[in-house]
A and B are shown apart, each in its own frame.
Chain A
Amino acid sequence: MFQYVLKRLLSTLPVLIGISLLLFFMLRMLPGDPAQVLAGQMASQEDIQSIRQQLGFDKPIFVQFGLFLSRLIRFDLGRSARTQNPVLEEIGSRLPNTVLLAVAAITLACLFGIPAGIISAVRRYTWIDYLFTSMALFGISMPVFWLGLMLVVVFSVLLKWLPAGGTGSFKHIILPSFTLAAFVVAFITRMTRASMMEALSQDYITTARSKGLKEQMVIIKHALKNALIPIITVVGLQFGLLLGGAVLTETVFAWPGMGRLIVDSILARDYPVIQGAILIFGLLYILVNLVVDLIYAYIDPRIRYDGRK
């Protein structure tokens, strides 16, 4: 098990190096000079040049990349060009917010999506199936930012029940997590429905039924257990989508998370922060998928740690 985890982690290294390589050169292609942004619009050329030197942006790009990599190995992501704080500190103050939002949204989505999917599969082609499947479809067809704004209009502007944005209390997380959940719930409902339908048509279900087991038992104990793997895969895959959606949701609700950090940093040409934040995003994504794989093995002992069925 430990060996497997280690192997998996090592195999993600090329991807991470790939990401940093791509990022590094892509960012250097951005128009606009970070030193100019930092110096302010009225700064003199000498001042801009001195800032460029301080930040190391005057060195040849390959030297810059070498320095970046050598620091990366020491887990040093550098300092933000904008605030001069260590990038890890900047990310550290934002990451918990995004994780909180993502976990809340995934939980909400599972709480609705899995039961809805099961009910749809069991009562297929009835009105309730149509209701749930169309609700799920609405979820993916709706722009998250629009849904967010509409929720603000209803719950903050008209009813004045919930805050329109920011953090601080439990109330603050309701609207953003609901918005983000609406975006993911569709995938979970549909995958649950599809895999439950497949599971329910299997022979062992018929056997179980013929043994006279209660239908509820059959569904939950036998069918759901077998349908869980694809569902968990989808939840894991949704995580990436969720992080992307978080960029927009965080903007709408002024949620101080990673998404906003990245957008703000792109707009301010804060290279070290963009690099660091996206690397951490990539790492998170990879870790989540690793956890998903481990859960597989836990649920289905047929899957070995060598990753093959």
Chain B
Amino acid sequence: MEKMVRFMKAFLFVLMFIVGISFMTLYPVHAQIPELKIGIGIDADTLNPQEQTTTLVQNMCDLIYDTLFYQTPDGKLEPRLATGYKASKDGLSYTITLQKGVKFSDGTPFDAKAVKLTLDRALDPKLRVPLRFAIAMIKEVKVIDDHTLQIDLKYPFAPFVPTLSLTICSPISPAAIEKYGEEVRQNPVGAGPYILKEWVKGDRIVMVRNENYYGKKPTVARLTFKIIPETATREAMLRTGQIDVCYKPLPSNVASLKADPNVTVEMPLSTRTIFMGLNYQKGVTQNKLVRQAFNYAVDKRAICSKILFDTAVPMNGPVSSILFGYHKMAHQYEYNPEKAKELLKKANFDFSKTVNMRTPQGRYLFDQQVSEAVQAYLQAIGVKTELRTYDWPTYVAGLLKPIQETELEVFLLGWGPLILDADMGLYGQFHSSTNPPKGLGAAHYNNPEYDKLMDASRLEQDPKKRLEILKKASEMVWDDCPWIWLHVEKFVIAYSKKIKGMVVTSTEKFYPTYIRME
């Protein structure tokens, strides 16, 4: 009997093995997917990757151009158009080696000159490159030979190689630039897995597979991005099978989408944190006790579950937990209105004063509702508040005023690092050099000790030591509370259950290049 069982087990194993093998051999035949329809909310404005700030359109650019390196969802670096790198000891010079034998989709050979041209354009002050600040450390790009490049930096910058994975550094075909000039934004030519086939303004963007792609052959022959501005319509079309992928469904409908047996909902944690900035240098929030009290006063968990329908999680450190350099803080500001009141009393808080709050509207998920909730929590501990909403242009203009002119007291803002490294969060918001008008560190956090730590972190080449420094910095700013630490958003994407192998990243991008359909 026992023998029998053992035999059966062995037999089953062999059977499964055979079935598995035959599936794997059959699989490439089945893997050819004629078309994937993706429902998106907005049309692209420009497909020049250097002009682009919208993540969704950068995502499209990535499919057309490909990047030098690629940062996997778990933060590892993979070579793409670049094959490797070597950093100099002082961290001021990087040697990058490139793929050989690659051609852009128009047949132009891909080489070091093309990459230099691309990066020089990104640095050219005459061209509109909104994200230029992200590569501002580059001093000079030198061609060593056809497939080797040397990049010199103005100052050491530890996360430099991840920076090269940004869409803004995607090589553009020099022939296309020559031919189209700035109209390259309408006529993108890169070395990526897809080629732009058709662009009907306000309706659809169609890409077809690049048959000469240097990498593995993409499984989807044709990608159709269908523009459907109304989110509810997009969701309905996914349910009825008119589209295969629904980009960013409404948080309030995520639960019902998840319940649908034909739909997969993925929502990885994003890099974007949403917070209430507290003016560190002016007004009532100058007092650290007041800032801490405000943190205790707000029930962030309730905001995440009730207003955002669990498409966000409360912050438990000063950056998103998926970033390199994140540390969960030992002390948490749990919801505790009594403690908040106590702290205010200790700070001799003037309860007769009205605190000004401001919020953008429609910029982040339910931003106005989040602000209204925070306002109510502050009022609950006796703080008089007045909340004002602004449209985005007016709002940004208000944020960027220098400390002498600023009227900011308490304000909602979001910040989403483009690479999976804490630097853009911890440096980009809290280093005093980013105080407005120079940067958007609108809380005007100014702590010389913190600045020293962050400067040191950029110099540090040893990842372990760098982690230590970033931890110290995190703890310092966490204790100082220049923000009410609210939440980290999730990137929500829903697609047909048939699709397997979709790559969805924390930088709010998705790559259907090698999906399978079942």
Contacts and interface: CB of A to CB of B under 8 A. Distances in A.
Interface of A: 30-34, 36-47, 50-51, 54, 82-85, 89, 93-94, 152, 156, 163-167, 253-254, 256, 266-269
A54 B128 contact: yes
Contact of B130 (A32, A47, A152): A47
A-B pairs, 8 with minimum CB distance: A32-B393, A165-B230, A254-B230, A40-B130, A254-B229, A83-B45, A40-B53, A32-B394
Interface string B33-53: 000000000000110000001
A164 B236 contact: yes
B201 A38 contact: no
Contact of B437 (A42, A45, A94): A45
Interface string B412-444: 000000000000000010000000011110000
Interface string B301-323: 00000000000000000000000
Contact of B396 (A30, A37, A83, A166): A37
Nearest to A172: B233
Contacts of A83: 45-46
Contacts of B437: 45
Contacts of A269: 393
A41 B229 CA distance: 23
Interface in B19-75: 45-46, 53
B126 interface: yes
Contacts of A40: 53, 130-131
B393 A43 contact: no
Nearest to A256: B202
B393 A268 contact: yes
A36 B400 contact: yes
A242 B10 CA distance: 76
A47 B229 contact: no
Given A42-B131, A42-B133, A36 B393 contact: yes
A256 to B, nearest CB: 5
A202 to B, nearest CB: 51
Given A163-B233, A267-B392, A43 B202 contact: no
Given A45-B438, A166-B229, A269-B393, 16 more contacts: A30-B393, A33-B397, A42-B130, A42-B133, A42-B134, A44-B136, A44-B438, A47-B128, A84-B182, A84-B185, A164-B230, A254-B228, A254-B230, A254-B233, A256-B229, A267-B391
A33 B393 contact: yes
SS of B interface (majority): loop
A37 B232 contact: no
A45 B132 CA distance: 11
Contacts of B202: 93-94, 256
A38 to B, nearest CB: 7
B506 to A, nearest CB: 18
Contacts, number: 104
A45 B402 CA distance: 13
A31 B126 contact: no
15 contacts: A32-B392, A32-B396, A33-B396, A37-B396, A40-B131, A44-B133, A45-B437, A47-B132, A50-B125, A50-B128, A152-B232, A165-B230, A254-B228, A254-B229, A269-B393
Contacts of A84: 45-46, 182, 185
A51 B400 contact: no
Given A84-B46, A165-B232, A47 B394 contact: no
Contacts of B504: none
A165 B236 CA distance: 11
**Interface hub of B130, B202, B396 (most chain A Cβ within 10 A):** B130
Contacts of B131: 40, 42-43
Interface of B: 45-46, 53, 125-126, 128-134, 136, 182, 185, 201-203, 228-230, 232-233, 236, 391-397, 400, 428, 437-440
B383 to A, nearest CB: 27
Contacts of A85: 201
B233 A164 contact: yes
B228 A50 contact: no
A39 B131 CA distance: 8
A43 B130 contact: yes
**Interface hub of B45, B185, B233 (most chain A Cβ within 10 A):** B233
Contacts of B185: 84
Contacts of B230: 164-166, 253-254
Contact of A164 (B182, B232, B391, B438): B232
A11 to B, nearest CB: 35
B132 A166 contact: no
B228 A166 contact: yes
A82 B392 CA distance: 14
A84 B134 CA distance: 23
A36 B397 contact: yes
A248 B331 CA distance: 48
B393 A31 contact: yes
B236 A43 contact: no
Contacts of B228: 166, 254
A307 B54 CA distance: 54
A43 B132 contact: yes
Contacts of B233: 163-166, 254
A47 B391 contact: no
Contacts of A156: 232, 236
A39 B391 CA distance: 16
A85 B201 CA distance: 11
B229 A44 contact: no
A253 B232 CA distance: 10
Contacts of B428: 42
A82 B128 CA distance: 11
Contacts of B396: 32-33, 36-37, 41
Nearest to B128: A51
B126 A50 contact: yes
Contacts of A39: 128, 130
A33 B397 CA distance: 7
Contacts of B45: 82-84
B318 to A, nearest CB: 18
A93 B203 CA distance: 10
Contacts of A42: 130-131, 133-134, 428, 439-440
Contacts of B394: 31-32
B234 to A, nearest CB: 9
Contacts of A268: 392-393
A85 B125 CA distance: 21
Contacts of B46: 83-84
A289 to B, nearest CB: 29
A94 B202 CA distance: 9
Contacts of A37: 392-393, 396
B415 to A, nearest CB: 9
B201 A93 contact: yes
A89 B53 CA distance: 22
Contact of B236 (A89, A163, A254): A163
Given A37-B392, A165-B229, A165-B232, A44 B397 contact: no
B391 A32 contact: yes
Given A94-B202, A166-B230, A267-B392, A47 B129 contact: yes
B411 to A, nearest CB: 13
A254 B45 CA distance: 18
A267 B391 CA distance: 6
